[in-house]
Amino acid sequence: MAEQNTFLYALSSNNAWAGYKAHQNPSFFTKLASGQTPQILWLGCSDSRCPETTILGLQPGDIFVHRNIANIISPTDINTSAVIEYAVAHLKVKHVVLCGHSSCGGAAAALSDSRVGGVLDTWLTPLKAVRYAHADELAAITDDKKRTVRIAELNVEAGVKVLMANFTIQDAIRDRGLEVHGTLFDIASGRIRDLGFGTRGSVGFDGSSDEVVRGNHAQLVFGGGNAKMAVR
């Protein structure tokens, strides 16, 4: 595909997708336009290889989304805070999922002693702080890819701690059992791994019951420490 035709191709692809969805389910877009009731707030990286709805096998309307460079959760970032407040306090999502990923450019940049330039260096400061806080552990990892994955995991852990300190999230955990999950997406396999950070031991992850997130053509079922897809 020629570079100059990418946008026109995307518009054509959208037209084909909309036609297919309308044919598959004539009421799909009518229901979608009537409002949203997502059960998941997804906090992820802006990386083009990590499209949350696609990798979770869900549909438009199932996930409320905020993504930024290196999925950094900063308590002073009003953008992230506004998304969290709207999703948790107003949409009443049941799950907050913070997801890092392998092959993360932001993680690699934080491990480097070189400057990226511009505002990116400022934005990546919290991730640099994670690096310095775990300097000995990271230095002991000789494989560059494994080191990058490890700092991505540590970044998720740090982000979950910020989430757990958020008053809106604390209130929702106490009042209605909101669950917070720290995860990592492995691009090479397409799999999401639960890192065990957040509200572990609550419904959906201790095996006592299943929590079903319903899509328009599938169900993502959390239970027993795993998730399974059930097509309906």
Helix (H, G, I), strand (E, B) or coil at 144: helix
How far is residue 103 CA from its own chain's centroid? 15
Catalytic residue among 50, 62, 66, 101: 101
Q: Given the residues 47, 99, 147, 150, select the one marked as catalytic.
A: 47
Exactly one of 45, 62, 99, 147 is catalytic; name it: 45
Residue 218 token pair: 């599938």
Count other C-beta atoms under 10 Å from residue 92's C-beta. 13
Task: Reply yes or no on whether 50 is catalytic.
Answer: no
State yes or no: is 181 an active-site residue. Answer: no
Identify whether 45 is a catalytic site residue.
yes
Residues belonging to the binding site for Zn(2+) are 45, 47, 101, 104
Active site residue 217: no
Annotated binding site: 45, 47, 101, 104
Specify whether 67 is catalytic.
no
Beta-carbon count within 10 A of 30 CB: 10
Both tokens of 229, joined, read: 């897809």
Per annotation, catalytic residue among 95, 104, 147, 150: 104
| Residue (of 36, 123, 138) closest to 87 by Cα position | 36
Q: Indicate which residues carry an active-site annotation.
A: 45, 47, 49, 101, 104
